[in-house]
A and B are shown apart, each in its own frame.
Chain A
Amino acid sequence: MERFELVSKRKLADRVNEYVVYAPEVARHCKAGQFVILRVDEEGERVPFTVCDYSREEGTVCILVQEVGYTTALLARLEKGDRLADFVGPLGNPTDLSAYKRILLVGGGIGSAVIYPQAKQLAAEGRAADVVVGARNEGLLIYQDEFRRYAKDFYPVTDDGSNGRKGFVTDVVRELIESGERYDVVFAVGPLPMMRAVCKLTEEYSLPTVVSMNPIMVDGTGMCGCCRITVGGEVKYACIDGPEFDGHKVDFEEAMQRLRTYKAQEEEHMCRLRGERR
């Protein structure tokens, strides 16, 4: 097996693939909550992905990728046996929920990939968490069987009601809290608007909330400062200070604005990839 070879590729939902990559060095120190940076080919850009599983024995690291832009589209064209140009990590800090006992994990869309290793680990530690996972529809709801296995209680929710209840993750979180469920912490991972909504809600209940940020990065080791976000009025680098932060202190508006920085250029790249001209 060659370094950075794709061991497997599995379609989990429309435009969502799970890739298992042979990267023994990364797997050796990898912990839940950390991320990797990969380049698809020698001309590729560096893009970060949160680790969603790993096996030290097999020397593999698993990431979940939603096809949303140029690099993710290139990835989608790869198959088992193909090799990535680079796959470096584990970067950032691991999730640390050791201080908490009663934990609520909330995943939105692809963000469920980040809470999945937590659910698994917490179950192994004998303090299984409640898990709320939301998606636009049934087809986009990922890791259902796994969550059912590792969660204390599992609450799927879809925008259109095609699976679980109809609504948003915040609806379920509010109901759980209102129904008297006591949590020490919420760990919420998903698109920025979803994490912002969860934080706004939990703030009402003074319920500590940890979020995982996924800003634009270049090196991922603190060198470029591209991933800076404002947390409690202070500038932090998601790559070396995060990626997880106190959600009640994160400036989500700014994070959303910064995520749009290269939108126009990304669209141009996509056109080129599709063979269109602009």
Chain B
Amino acid sequence: MKGDLLRHKMPAQPPEERINNFREVALGYTPELALAEAERCLNCKDPLCMKGCPVGVHIPRFIAHIRAGELDDAAKTVLSDNNLPAVCGRVCPQENQCEKYCIRREKLGGSVAIGALERYVADHAAAAGIKPVAVPAKGAKAAVVGTGPASLSCAADLAKAGVAVTMYEALHKAGGVLVYGIPEFRLPKDIVAREVENLRAMGVTVLTDMVVGKTVMLDELLAEYDCVFVGTGAGLPSFLHVKGENLSGVSSANEFLTRVNLMKAYEKSSATPVQRGKKVAVVGAGNVAMDAARTARRLGAEVTLVYRRSRAEMPARAEEVGHAEEEGIRFELLTNPVEILGENGAVTGMRCVRMQLGEPDASGRRRPVPVEGSEFDIACDEVIVALGTTPNPIIKRSFPALATTPKGTIVADENGKTSVERLYAGGDAMTGAATVILAMGAGKRSARAMIEELKACGKL
């Protein structure tokens, strides 16, 4: 057997230290660790891991380059398929993607830590100044709406093909969920800024303060550009719909995280305020719930995370759940809020009911049902609701010709082609809330289809 048997853990800031700062938790492999982990790759003839990668990174090849000490080549290999490897290496749920298919997974000491290696290579690329290569614009013009992972990935592939790309961002800063949603301690904002800079260096124009559907209309973009990609994400937060939800001190995870991440409210000097509860209850168990819980912890709170199903059904990445537990986040599983309690308009607690798992529901997971008479109160002065998001209705309302599902997601085929000619869509705006890497995969597929269409009509 090649290499060490057991998968190498990535060094991390100790929990007792990191709950007092917003610096990155996972510290990345050292060169020695990266080499040792790369040695574990069996370089399969038929690499199953690649099946799990939505953007098709040639995984055994880049790992082989690491083994050979050819880090520049490893970086170029990754960059040829993945436009945001430093982001993916940090936030991809690899255990459900590439690493899920790794032949070593259970019997041979655990899957190769592909994500950790990707991050190592991406950080080397940044340090060595290896960037995606710019191609002179060939005359075709595309607009990309939104600057989150789907849009960034789409824009990069278009630019690599010589399309002149203009991106439209509604907020004052580009990066979408990578800047407003995912916290600094999981994805440093410098890394996102660097990816956006790389795009600019490739000739992509990034416009901020432009709300498509308000500041500029989709039909105007279709008139001005040869094709348009919509990657506006799933921005609208869902709430619990229980009594007391509009008390001061109850916020969506989107609001809480936007204040802290985008508006830097974790710095005391920030002009933007954020609630700083002493006892915070977070509702939900996805990645966003973990982000909110761990952020509240760093702002000094005791945090309880409430989830109506059991641990096995938690949608968050395993690593995030583990990190949250290490940081002292208390989990109240099989528990559902029924009311938020308050006095004088402020939160004083959350009334919950215990749940048990019944028959499987539409999602295939066992449906949680309330246990009668099991109500109890959790004392808290802040509640953060992280129950997922739905697509933002602004685009749809301003452009009714675009077909959407009853849930509000944009209807499109597997290449992102919508009901409107020359208009593509992908990411959460099309699928509903999902992951960064799936959004990137969608952006990439749309870019490919857009390039084909531009070539077919002689614009490229």
A and B pair up: yes
Residues of A within 8 A of B (CB): 25-26, 29, 39, 43-46, 70-71, 85-91, 218-219, 221-226, 228-230, 235, 237, 240, 254, 257-258, 260-262, 265-266, 269, 272
A-B contact pairs, 6 of them (CB 8 A): A225-B254, A230-B246, A258-B246, A258-B248, A262-B273, A266-B273
CB nearest to B169 among chain A residues: A88
Main secondary structure of the interface of A (DSSP, over half): mixed
Docked pose: A152 CA to B38 CA in angstroms: 80
* Contact status B392-A44, CB under 8 Å: no
A88, A218, A222, A260: the one contacting B258 at CB < 8 Å is A218
* Contact status A223-B273, CB under 8 Å: no
Residue B300, interface by CB 8 Å? no
* Contact status A89-B235, CB under 8 Å: no
CB nearest to A268 among chain B residues: B273
B180, B254, B275, B393: the one contacting A240 at CB < 8 Å is B393
Count of chain B residues near A, Cβ 8 A: 40
Docked pose: A83 CA to B254 CA in angstroms: 29
Known: A29-B217, A89-B214, A254-B246. A221 touches B271 (CB 8 A): no
* Contact status A29-B215, CB under 8 Å: yes
Task: Render B253-267 as a binary contact track against A, CB cut-off 8 A, 1 for contact.
Answer: 011001100011000
Known: A222-B393, A265-B273. A39 touches B255 (CB 8 A): no
Residue B394, interface by CB 8 Å? yes
Measured between beta carbons, the chain B residues less than 8 angstroms from A29 are 214-217
A218, A229, A235, A258: the one contacting B239 at CB < 8 Å is A235
Measured between beta carbons, the chain B residues less than 8 angstroms from A257 are 247-248, 345
* Contact status A223-B211, CB under 8 Å: no
Known: A86-B208, A88-B215, A91-B214. A218 touches B263 (CB 8 A): yes
Residue B82, interface by CB 8 Å? no
A45, A91, A224, A272: the one contacting B255 at CB < 8 Å is A224
- Name the distance in Å between A241's Cβ and chain B's nearest Cβ: 9
Residues of B within 8 A of A (CB): 170-172, 180, 208-211, 214-217, 235-237, 239, 241, 245-249, 251-252, 254-255, 258-259, 263-264, 269-273, 275, 345, 392-394
* Contact status B246-A44, CB under 8 Å: no
Known: A25-B215, A88-B172, A235-B246. 14 other contacts (CB 8 A): A44-B271, A45-B271, A45-B272, A46-B172, A89-B214, A218-B263, A221-B211, A230-B246, A240-B394, A258-B248, A261-B248, A261-B249, A269-B271, A269-B273
* Contact status B215-A90, CB under 8 Å: yes
B241, B247, B258, B269: the one contacting A223 at CB < 8 Å is B258
* Contact status B392-A221, CB under 8 Å: yes
CB nearest to B236 among chain A residues: A222
- Name the distance in Å between B210's Cβ and chain A's nearest Cβ: 7
CB nearest to B216 among chain A residues: A25
Docked pose: A261 CA to B264 CA in angstroms: 18
Which are the 7 A-B pairs with shortest beta-carbon distances? Answer: A257-B345, A224-B255, A265-B273, A261-B248, A88-B209, A45-B272, A223-B235
B215, B239, B251, B263: the one contacting A45 at CB < 8 Å is B263
Known: A46-B272, A226-B251, A226-B255. A221 touches B394 (CB 8 A): yes
* Contact status A221-B209, CB under 8 Å: no
Most chain B beta carbons < 10 A, residue from A221, A230, A257, A272: A221
Measured between beta carbons, the chain A residues less than 8 angstroms from B270 are 43, 45
Measured between beta carbons, the chain A residues less than 8 angstroms from B215 are 25-26, 29, 88-90
* Contact status A90-B214, CB under 8 Å: yes
Docked pose: A43 CA to B263 CA in angstroms: 8
- Name the distance in Å between B51's Cβ and chain A's nearest Cβ: 34
Measured between beta carbons, the chain A residues less than 8 angstroms from B275 are 261
CB nearest to A255 among chain B residues: B246
Measured between beta carbons, the chain A residues less than 8 angstroms from B239 are 225, 228, 235
* Contact status A260-B172, CB under 8 Å: no
Measured between beta carbons, the chain B residues less than 8 angstroms from A237 are 236
Docked pose: A224 CA to B211 CA in angstroms: 15
Measured between beta carbons, the chain B residues less than 8 angstroms from A218 are 255, 258-259, 263, 272
Known: A29-B217, A218-B258, A240-B393. A225 touches B248 (CB 8 A): no
Measured between beta carbons, the chain A residues less than 8 angstroms from B235 are 221-223
